[in-house]
Amino acid sequence: MKGFSTENPIIAAVRDVKHMNHVIQTSIDTIFLMTGDIFTIEECVSIARNNDKQIFIHVDLIRGIAKDKEGIKYLARRVKPDGIVTTKNQLIHVAKKEGLLTVQHLFLIDTHAYQTGIKNILDVEPDAVELMPGLMPRVINDLYRQIPCPIVCAGLIKSEQEVIEALAAGAAATAISEQSLWDLQPQLLKK
């Protein structure tokens, strides 16, 4: 199975299915779909595919998809995204068995969450980790040194400088819902 990678360090965190039309006009190559329901996600995946974009479904946020083994199987076999984003370890296991890429969504709110997060990452071996909030360069760097998969920073990122700081700290990419940042030039962000 292929691994998680993105040429552009900006990932579009799409929070409204209407924004799919905007993201396909950008140089972004990866989309995290964070909205929708069982009726709209197939169209979003089709739009992404027709425009050579990877798309990951944030299963914890999609209405009408059960957050269980059968829901993941349905996504893998019928909707066919590139992968999923989730906080749930058991869904990562199922998604990997179904051939989907996996991104473990991790909220780091304190030291205990950090330590538990590292343990979970090492146990379930996701293809990437989405770290929230994304405005913690020291923590990003610490995590980068301890886990064997790419880090995507997300949450509260509102400026180009914040993107640059997250990437400099070790993040492979940043997932951003702020549409004005979707057009940042990738070559100017990596330092």
* Span 92-132, pLDDT tens digits: 999 999 999 999 999 999 999 999 999 999 999 999 999 99
Distance CA 10, CA 189 (A): 9
180 pLDDT band, cuts 50/70/90, is very high
Q: Is 149 a residue whose pLDDT tops 50?
A: yes
Please name the amino acid found at residue 96: K
pLDDT surpasses 80 at 190: no
- Superfamily of domain 10-186, CATH level 4: Aldolase class I (3.20.20.70)
Return d(Cα 150, Cα 76) in angstroms, integer.
22
Question: What does the domain layout of the chain look like in residue ranges?
Answer: 10-186
Q: State whether residue 69 is helix, strand or coil.
A: helix
Contact between 33 and 57 under an 8 Å Cβ cutoff? The reply is: yes
